[in-house]
């Protein structure tokens, strides 16, 4: 075969391969949104699940997912940011830094079910809390932290050296420089990273089965007392998230309209993830424009 013919055939293969990937994605998202569209209405996204009867909604699950995301980020962001600052600004090459990097790599590659089991051991049993939102948030923190550290370190490293030097030359201390000059300029990149990791946290289920639990108590949304078990804001109550709900209705639920509930839940989950993804892209483009001065 002539080299040119082989080249043309190969090019065809590359187009086909890339086409397959695009088609798979379009098929997945199209399928979920198409089937979900018919099951989503206002009652579905606000009312609680039906127990044994058909017609239940996923209101508490949606709330739990967002609340859990908030709790997780509330813990992850400060710790991850500070650890990122340490690695970017203070860390000197050596055994400790090497150990930190190895730990980050290890944590990143741990299967989420293993982190979930660790959460069961420590945040559920050892603390004596039982299945709670807080245990779930801590388990998700373990999953999310390595990403957060990486993102902040990279964002801080990318801040131009001239900015730091300017600030130091004006007599600011290194810590002042970090807080008032470096962090504000890295803000948008860090924000982008936070949104991307939020999408992951929102869809995580395996780590939550044995930490936040697979059920929610009946919630009363007018109850603002955070110590009451019926209050949605109580972080020490069990909570089933949207992603866990999809798994649970499919594997052990007795409701007759499993398909409808699962389709709707999956569509909402995808829509939220899409929203996170698009806003991260939009922010990313803004950073790019800012840096290139357009």
Partner 1 sequence: MGKTVETVVVLTKGIKPKKQRYQLGRRISFLCALLVIVLTLSIVVFITSKGLSTFLINNVSLKEFLFSTEWFPDRTLEEGGPRVGALTFIFGSVAVSMLAVLISAPLSFITAIFMVEIAPGWGQRLLQPCIELLSGIPSVVYGYIGLSVLVPFIREYLGGLGFSLLAGVMVLSVMIIPTIVSVSVDSLRSLPSHLKEAAYALGSTRWQTIRLILIPAAKTGLFTGVILGLARAFGEALAVQMVIGNTKQIPQSLLDQLTTLTSGITMDMGYTVVGSLWNNTLWSMATILLLMSFFFILLIRIIAKRGANC
Q: Which of residues 32-71 bind partner 1 (CB under 8 A)?
A: 32
HSE on the CB side for 154, CA within 13 Å? 13
247 is a contact residue toward partner 1 (CB under 8 A): yes
Question: In terms of CB distance, is 10 or 37 closer to partner 1?
Answer: 10
**Binding to partner 1 by residue 271, rule CB under 8 A?**
no
For the bound state, the minimum distance from the C-beta of residue 191 to partner 1, rounded and expressed in Å, comes to 17
CA distances to 59, 134, 236, 245, 249 from 215, rounded to whole Å, are 13, 15, 13, 9, 11
Q: Is residue 250 part of the contact set for partner 1 (CB under 8 A)?
A: yes
Among 33, 45, 117, 188, binds partner 1 (CB under 8 A): 117
Residue 223 parent element (H or E): none
Q: Based on CB atoms, which residue is closest to partner 1, 178 or 231?
A: 178
Among residues 34, 38, 74, 106, the one that binds partner 1 under rule CB under 8 A: 106
Q: Give the orientation angle of helix 3-39 with respect to helix 258-292, to 10 degrees.
A: 120
221 sits near partner 1 (criterion: CB under 8 A): no
Instruction: For 172, list phi and psi in degrees, rounded to 5.
Output: -75, 150
Q: For residues 222 and 211, give the distance between their C-alpha atoms in angstroms, rounded to a whole number.
A: 26
Q: Cα 285 from chain centroid? A: 21
For partner 1, the binding residues in 71-100 under the rule CB under 8 A are: 78-80, 82-83, 85-87, 89-91, 99-100
Which of these segments, 3-11, 39-47, 215-223, 231-239, binds partner 1 (CB under 8 A)? 3-11
Check the CA dihedral 213-149-182-97 and report its sign: positive
Q: Which of the stretches 40-48, 168-176, 217-225, 227-235 binds partner 1 when contact is defined by CB under 8 A?
A: 168-176
> Given candidates 246, 260, 264, 283, which one binds partner 1 under the rule CB under 8 A?
246
Restricting to residues 4-33, which ones interact with partner 1 according to CB under 8 A?
Answer: 4, 6-7, 9-11, 13-18, 20-22, 24-25, 28-29, 31-32
Q: Which residues contact 219 (CB under 8 A, 6 or more apart)?
A: 48, 60, 63, 230, 231, 232
d(CA 151, CA 241): 26
């Amino acid at each position: 075969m002539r080299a040119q013919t082989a080249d043309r055939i190969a090019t065809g293969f590359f187009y086909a391969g890339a086409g397959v990937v695009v088609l798979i994605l379009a098929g997945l998202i199209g399928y979920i949104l198409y089937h979900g569209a018919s099951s989503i209405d206002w009652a579905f996204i606000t009312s609680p699940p039906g127990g044994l009867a058909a017609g239940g909604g996923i209101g508490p699950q949606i709330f739990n997912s967002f609340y859990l995301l908030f709790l997780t980020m509330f813990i992850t962001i400060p710790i991850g940011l500070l650890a990122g600052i340490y690695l970017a600004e203070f860390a000197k090459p050596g055994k400790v830094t090497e150990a930190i990097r190895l730990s980050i790599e290890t944590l990143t590659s741990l299967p989420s079910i293993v982190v979930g089991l660790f959460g069961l051991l420590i945040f559920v049993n050892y603390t004596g809390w039982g299945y709670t939102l807080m245990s779930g948030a801590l388990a998700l923190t373990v999953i999310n932290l390595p990403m957060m550290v990486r993102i902040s370190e990279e964002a801080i490293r990318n801040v131009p050296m001239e900015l730091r030097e300017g600030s130091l030359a004006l007599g600011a201390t290194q810590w002042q420089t970090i807080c008032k000059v470096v962090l504000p300029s890295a803000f948008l990149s860090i924000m982008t990273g936070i949104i991307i990791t939020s999408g992951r946290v929102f869809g995580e289920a395996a780590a939550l089965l044995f930490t936040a639990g697979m059920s929610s108590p009946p919630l009363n949304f007018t109850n603002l007392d955070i110590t009451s078990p019926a209050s949605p804001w109580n972080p020490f109550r069990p909570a089933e998230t949207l992603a866990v709900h999809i798994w649970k209705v499919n594997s052990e639920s007795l409701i007759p309209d499993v398909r409808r509930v699962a389709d709707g839940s999956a569509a909402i989950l995808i829509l939220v993830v899409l929203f996170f993804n698009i806003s991260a892209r939009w922010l990313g483009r803004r950073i790019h424009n800012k840096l290139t001065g357009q």
